[in-house]
Amino acid sequence: MADWIYILDPRRDTLDGEPSDKETMLQLAQEEPALELWLGRRNRMGPGDRLWFFFSRPEAAVAAVAEVDEEPRSDDEDPDIPFVVPVTLLTEATKSLYRDPVSRDELGLGQVRSVQKVKPEALPVLLARAGL
């Protein structure tokens, strides 16, 4: 199992047509937790991996988490999206992170990319804040 950081910028990214902010993610976790997310590259994600959502604005922090349901696959329907990965938001863990997000400093993030592995030293604080 691996843990990944998935970067969302609420100014330009959307989730099912809604802004990609932590409020929308909390609502999705409670009402429609199954999502398909786009990836710029395939990565080596597998079922059971966790995807931690880092919101770049207004507060740069992780405030939601999902479990990867299937390996990333090519999106044959949209040539502008190279890969998609099916995930399910973890409702209770997302509620916990929403109330007490993990800041960029606590994660030890330098330059952020769209998807990257969680640093081993950041994982304990993510798990604790999510109640996992």
- Please give the Cα distance from 76 to 84 (Å, whole number): 10
Whether 83 and 74 have beta carbons less than 8 Å apart is answered as yes
- pLDDT band of residue 14 (cuts 50, 70, 90) is low
The helix (run of H) or strand (run of E) holding residue 124 is helix 123-130
Query: Among all chains, which residue has been given the structure tokens 């994982």?
Result: 123
The structural architecture, per CATH, of the domain 3-130 is Roll (3.10)
- Please give the Cα distance from 126 to 62 (Å, whole number): 8
Give the residue extent of every domain in the chain: 3-130
The gap between the terminal CA atoms of the chain, to the nearest Å, is: 14
The reported pTM is: 0.91
What's the mean pLDDT in 2-11? 87
Q: What is the pLDDT of residue 70?
A: 95
Q: What is the pLDDT of residue 42?
A: 74
